Amino acid sequence: MSGVAGDPATAPALERFLRSLAARDVSPHTLRSYRTTISAYLAYLDERGTDWRAPSRPELRSYLARLGTAASRTTVAQRLAAIRSFHRWAVREGVAVGDPWGAIATPRLPRRLPRVLEVDQVTRLLAAVDDELAEASSARSDRVAAATALALRDRALVETAYAAGLRISELAAADLGSLDLRRGEIRVMGKGRKERIGLLGRPALAALAAYLEDGRPVLAQRDRHGGQLPTELFLNHLGGALGVRGLRYRLDRLCRHAGLPEGVSPHTLRHSFATHLLDGGADLRVVQELLGHESLATTQIYTHVSPTRLRAAYRDAHPRARRRAGTGPEPLPEPEPTA
């Protein structure tokens, strides 16, 4: 089989690789991204008449440089991950002898700490929804029901996202059958098509109950397309499913209304969920399970954004941080302000 990227024999290798990803329930978005990335890489090698199974080190460094000038560091890292995955698959399947990228040092992204809301900021976010409810009650009589329904939906949306630590895609995909108010659970399909259970506290259950009783039926009646009623939990103003873009728009709008700092995104609620659990004493593996992380290393980043918890653990555990028996821990000096 020819290894020149443009050769017709090369296309089946890429298609086989993509089929192997699909068999692992990789999302359609990821499949499209991998196809685009790897096709561009193979086209680059084709321009040089290079066997994609054994490109030279200078050619790979040249391609890496090209990526670096055309994309952000995050995008470069994502594209290299796709290319490396393709080459590793080729080795496992016996399509190629070795991984040419194995000897190439690629830039690593600095690990950034996730942005997290304080508890009082979450309260302010929910207060912004209460403002919407108040405004809805003063709207024109023909618009009160719809405006109230949307405000009830937004409160249920924020409470559910924060209570269960859900991704925005999981919120959009949640349907009525996934919700169990009696048990306080919501079943979602996470990354890699892995199902998990999100837990719901009393405020979230109350918000969902109010939305299901007085909000969602009003929105469902506004469906202008008729036919079968949508099964999705969260509906838009036209009675259809509220998609990821709609969810992002509504949450962004509420964040601005609440006066939260710039850069706060819907995913910030998920980060806040994890950090607040750890601050409250939850075990890291419990948080891993609730977040749906495959690796504990992914969850461990939240331990670096919880200085309050670290200081408390230090006071309780270090012999030189405790007072004499029965008198409690010595207070630690507060860090001096920086210039």
191 is catalytic: yes
How would you classify the pairing of strands 195-199 and 185-189? antiparallel
How would you classify the pairing of strands 195-199 and 179-180? unpaired
Q: Which helix (H) or strand (E) holds 253?
A: helix 244-257
- Beta bridge partners, 186, equal 179, 198
Separation of alpha carbons 294 and 146, rounded Å: 41
318 is catalytic: no
Each residue's pLDDT tens digit in the chain (339 positions)?
444 444 434 578 999 999 998 888 777 888 999 999 999 999 999 999 999 998 999 999 999 888 888 777 778 888 999 999 999 999 999 998 888 988 777 767 666 667 888 889 999 998 988 888 777 776 665 567 888 899 999 999 999 999 999 988 899 989 999 999 999 999 988 776 778 899 999 999 999 999 999 999 998 887 655 567 788 999 998 888 999 899 999 988 898 889 888 878 888 888 899 888 888 888 888 888 888 887 887 777 777 655 666 666 677 777 777 654 444 545 545 555 544
Q: Which helix (H) or strand (E) holds 206?
A: helix 202-210
The active-site residue, picked from 191, 222, 311, 315, is 191
pLDDT for position 20: 92
C-alpha 320: how far from chain center: 41
Six-digit token pair at 174? 């949640």
b/e per residue, 261-290, with b = 16+ CB within 10 A? eeebebebbbbbbbbbbbbeeeeeeebbeb
> Model confidence over 284-293: pLDDT tens digits?
888 888 888 8
225 is catalytic: no
pLDDT for position 336: 54
pLDDT for position 155: 93
The active-site residue, picked from 79, 270, 271, 276, is 270
293 is catalytic: yes
Query: What is the per-residue DSSP string for 66-100?
Result: HHHHHS-HHHHHHHHHHHHHHHHHHHHTTSSSS-G
84 is catalytic: no
Separation of alpha carbons 329 and 327, rounded Å: 7
pLDDT for position 4: 45
CB 174 within 8 A of CB 188: yes
pLDDT for position 181: 94
pLDDT for position 304: 66
Report how far apart, in Å, the C-alpha atoms of 179 and of each of 64, 150, 189, 288, 319 are: 46, 19, 13, 21, 48
pLDDT for position 26: 78
The active-site residue, picked from 35, 48, 248, 267, is 267
pLDDT for position 5: 45
pLDDT for position 9: 42
The active-site residue, picked from 167, 216, 250, 276, is 167
Indicate the residue type of 25.
Answer: D
List Cβ neighbours of 54 (8 Å cut-off, separation of 6 or more).
3, 96, 97, 98, 100
112 is catalytic: no
Predicted model pTM: 0.66
